[in-house]
Structure 1
Amino acid sequence: MAKLTNIQLFCILFVTMAVTPYQVLAKLLAANVAQHGWVVIIGSIAPGLLLVWIYYYILVNSRRTFPGMLEEHLGTLIGKTLGFVYIWVFFLVVVMSLVIFANFFLSNVLPGMPISILLIFIILPAFYALRNGLETTARVIEIIIMTGYPLAMVLLFLGLGPETDWSRLMPIGSFAMADIAKGILLVSSYCSFMIVVLTLGPFCHQPRLLWRWMLSAYGLFVFSVLVMVVIPIVAYGPALTAVQTFPIFNIARATNIAGFIHNIEIILVSAVMPGVFAILAVFWFVTCYSIQQVFGLQDYRVMIGPTAIMAGILAVLLVPNIHFLYIMLDQIFPWIFITIFGIFPVILALVIRVKRPKGTPSGTTADKK
């Protein structure tokens, strides 16, 4: 497999964590904790840092890439069983990303567009990138972050118009701790998407320095989601933000610059679409690579076509029911992701710590080559 630069891995880690929250997090947190979403973001920093450390610890104490490292540390039977579970959860992220963006596009941009045609336009670029290899995908994602991320954030800040009221973030303290805990779980579940580093990290040029790039990606993620959550609240208030399907899009639609530049929501769509391509391509690759590792295939590319068909069919079935989608995003998906991407790696790290002989030097796959 081709080598990745550390900056490419940084871009991959950030885009996998940030794209979905950019579309849905403001609404979800407003519905759960009203104006206290920014408190939730601050409260989620410690769990996020723990996940960063856990992933790095697993990396430097493993000789194989994920999910092969499950067999390395847990044995063949348990490792392959868990690897099979991870395949389906990675695939779930692929389908979820397709469904969220399709709903975003169909409900705001072209409501009459056939779902199947839209999904083809989303899937084909990622399909082509994966067929050309991970290195090509990583280079495209690097360009996306360098160009699309600043544009997406500028569009958010343009939403701070005359009606902006910072007092809508107050008062502090009128919340239930159970709601805050649920919000922290929600944010941490998106942070856990950084688990892709266990597959991609060993193929970087300087794996020993990955912790710096992992921390940098997480720091940028925290700043970004804080902005994503705060601006809709100060612009609309928590009650209105909670009932809007995509508050970020409404901010772009309502933006009016100097009285003559308006209707810039198409620019927002142009910024979001490459991000959706990125998270789709990354988790699609990890899904196919995991299938290759678990079932001993010669090349992950043979699974790109079958998984594309499965993802497209599932997305067509799920896109029409946006209410069901938000129930899943609020009630089901966070528990799945934090369990599989968060709790399981913590247990794996504990197993590694117990089994590792005292004084044994650590090393990654890339170090052993």
Structure 2
Amino acid sequence: MFRISHFQLYCILLLLVGPVAFLETPNILIIHLGCNAWLAAIGTIVPGILLAAMFQYIIKKSSQPFPLLLEEHLGKILGKFLGFLYILAFLLASSFTLRLFVDFIVTNVLPQTPISVFIGVLLLVGFVAIKSGLENLARCCELVTLLGLPFAFLIFLLAIIENWNPGNLLPFAYMDLTSFSLGLLSCSYVLGKMLPILSLAFFCPRQEKIRQVMFLVISTYVALMLATTLATLMTLDTTMSNIATFPTFSTIRLLHSADFIQNIDIVFIGIWILGVFGLVSIPWFMACYTTQ
């Protein structure tokens, strides 16, 4: 039976939520909430904790991993039917990530390169990783997290320090309940991608520590979202953020320090592509696993 460590599980779950939080979600938050987008990022901790508690309860009450737990709790017919729907859901999740990846690369990096090249390369790498097994895929996710997470926090810390302008965050809490709810929903739905925990938890040695892993993932996600949103608002302000297609990337492109820290966007692209590899491969692996 496959075995993965709790840290590897943390890395896998973080790759499921991190790349989207890094690039796309701050833009949605700023559209809904403007200069108060960072408040929704903080508020995500509440639905995140509730979601983690729900996953923990399901794991505790189940003797088999997902999707077999569907048959255990809902019966064989309904369980198999929902399992089939989840196969489609996992494949759609991978397809959505591929679309985001292609849009970003074509818009900002290599506009003249055929789309089929990007899709083909990423699918080939993902296929090789999945074929090598869960343990090797977990090691790849571990390496990507160790490389990418410190870099992500570092560049946004530099962006906040260099462009320190609290005035871009004013007026404080000037928003209506509907806008805040939409912003909170746009942040929280990403955490639903942690669904593979219902399978992966059964490959970890001590399931009682799964709750701590999920809380750590949620805390990292909220911190990353908060840092990204604050850096974007202070660098571009609300107006420029709404104009930019990927305001996070625009923030990184504008980052320089003392004339020797420049062109960080090149490093960002490389690390983000590694994150996209995990975000495509893991749901794809889950789709294959669910078909068994």
TM-score range, shorter chain: over 0.9
Taking the aligned partners of 1:161 and 1:113, their CA distance within structure 2 comes to 36
Taking the aligned partners of 2:108 and 2:161, their CA distance within structure 1 comes to 21
**Which residue type is aligned with residue 76 of structure 1?**
K
- Give runs of aligned pairs for residues 1-369 of structure 1, distance below 5 A: 1-160=1-160, 162-292=162-292
Taking the aligned partners of 2:93 and 2:291, their CA distance within structure 1 comes to 15
**Which residue type is aligned with residue 94 of structure 1?**
S
Taking the aligned partners of 1:85 and 1:242, their CA distance within structure 2 comes to 36
Give CA-to-partner distance per residue, 1:193-230, whole Å, 9 cap, x none. 11110011111111121111111111111111111111
CA contact (8 A) 1:35 1:169 kept: yes
For residue 39 of structure 1, report the CA deviation from its aligned partner: 1.2
CA contact (8 A) 1:152 1:272 kept: no
Taking the aligned partners of 1:173 and 1:261, their CA distance within structure 2 comes to 35
Give CA-to-partner distance per residue, 1:307-335, whole Å, 9 cap, x none. xxxxxxxxxxxxxxxxxxxxxxxxxxxxx
**Which residue type is aligned with residue 290 of structure 1?**
T
Taking the aligned partners of 1:63 and 1:198, their CA distance within structure 2 comes to 11
**Which residue type is aligned with residue 49 of structure 1?**
I
Taking the aligned partners of 2:201 and 2:163, their CA distance within structure 1 comes to 45
Taking the aligned partners of 1:162 and 1:51, their CA distance within structure 2 comes to 36
CA contact (8 A) 2:48 2:191 kept: yes
Give CA-to-partner distance per residue, 1:287-323, whole Å, 9 cap, x none. 111122xxxxxxxxxxxxxxxxxxxxxxxxxxxxxxx
Point out the more displaced range, 123-132 or 81-90: 81-90
CA contact (8 A) 2:162 2:257 kept: no
**Which residue type is aligned with residue 14 of structure 2?**
F
Taking the aligned partners of 1:231 and 1:32, their CA distance within structure 2 comes to 17
1:65/1:103 CA distance change after superposition, 3 Å? same
TM-score, reference length from structure 1:
0.76
**Which residue type is aligned with residue 273 of structure 1?**
I
For residue 93 of structure 1, report the CA deviation from its aligned partner: 1.0
CA contact (8 A) 1:161 1:235 kept: no
Which one has more relative contact order, counting CA pairs under 8 Å at least 6 apart? 2
SS of the equivalent of 1:66 reads: coil
Bigger radius of gyration: 1
Unaligned runs of 5+ in 1: 293-369
1:162/1:289 CA distance change after superposition, 3 Å? closer
Taking the aligned partners of 2:239 and 2:30, their CA distance within structure 1 comes to 7
Taking the aligned partners of 2:5 and 2:161, their CA distance within structure 1 comes to 40
For residue 163 of structure 1, report the CA deviation from its aligned partner: 4.2
For residue 244 of structure 1, report the CA deviation from its aligned partner: 0.9
SS of the equivalent of 2:229 reads: helix
**Which residue type is aligned with residue 106 of structure 1?**
V
Taking the aligned partners of 2:54 and 2:162, their CA distance within structure 1 comes to 44
CA contact (8 A) 2:18 2:221 kept: yes
**Which residue type is aligned with residue 191 of structure 2?**
C
For residue 108 of structure 1, report the CA deviation from its aligned partner: 0.7
Q: Which residue of 2 aligns with 1:343?
A: none
Q: Which residue of 2 aligns with 1:317?
A: none
SS of the equivalent of 1:237 reads: helix
Taking the aligned partners of 2:261 and 2:14, their CA distance within structure 1 comes to 31
Taking the aligned partners of 2:157 and 2:30, their CA distance within structure 1 comes to 19
Taking the aligned partners of 1:99 and 1:200, their CA distance within structure 2 comes to 26
1:220/1:162 CA distance change after superposition, 3 Å? closer
**Which residue type is aligned with residue 54 of structure 1?**
M
Q: Which residue of 2 aligns with 1:304?
A: none
SS of the equivalent of 1:82 reads: helix
- How many residues in Structure 1 have an aligned counterpart in Structure 2? 292
TM-score, reference length from structure 2:
0.96
**Which residue type is aligned with residue 116 of structure 1?**
S
For residue 161 of structure 1, report the CA deviation from its aligned partner: 6.0
Alignment RMSD (CA, Å): 1.4
Give CA-to-partner distance per residue, 1:119-141, whole Å, 9 cap, x none. 12212111101001010000010
**Which residue type is aligned with residue 104 of structure 2?**
F
